[in-house]
Structure 1
């Protein structure tokens, strides 16, 4: 039971990390100190998508699921609603490259604005 709860919590953390990678630059506009957290996260998230690297969170979650005696994903809330957001159907390497490019461009634009703002101070 605890392994399943841990695995579900890890999926939620994974989703939060993805959202931070994509939209964290917008938080940096308000709280500049978050750049120290967001830049490495954004670089990692972009690298995972561009180079098709395995995410350690996915491996960790699968290990927890196996320890819980699960072989796959059932019809629970986490598996049904959160998992498809992280790994949608039809996610191909080409789509991953486009997603990575969108994340990269979005964050570059945000950081250009942050840098311009810092120069004005």
Structure 2
């Protein structure tokens, strides 16, 4: 039972990690300090996809699967859980471009918000 609970926890954390990679940059519009943690997470996720860096959550989930008699994920979390259910397998590259576009859009919005806050501070300092 503990192996199964650990595996399910790793799977839930995987989904949260994926959601944060895709949408976390938008949080920095409201909370600018979240930009740097998101940049780190997005860079690590990019390394997992491009350089094939290891993912500790995949290792934990596979360990759980092995210890509960289930088949291990062959190629990783995204291929096992998301491709084919969130988007068709033949649109893998399209989904990557959409995700990259969302991250870029979120960073552009964060930069715009930063410029506005700086301008407001300068204006406040000049008028005060």
TM-score in same-fold range (> 0.5): yes
Structure 1 regions of 5+ residues with no counterpart? 74-82
Question: Post-superposition shift, 1:63?
Answer: 0.9
For 2:76, the equivalent position in structure 1 comes to none
SS at match of 1:38: helix
- Partner residue, 1:120: 116
Larger RCO: 1 or 2 (CA < 8 Å, sep 6+): 1
From 93, 105, 109, give the equivalent of 1:109. Answer: 105
Structure 2 unaligned spans of 5+ = 73-78, 118-128
RMSD: 2.5
Answering whether residue 94 of structure 2 is matched by residue 98 of structure 1, we say yes
Cα displacement (A) at 1:116: 1.6
Q: How many residues align?
A: 108
Q: Give yes or no for contact 2:83–2:92 (8 Å, CA) kept in 1.
A: no
**Rg (Cα) greater in structure:** 2
Superposed displacement of residue 84, structure 1: 6.7
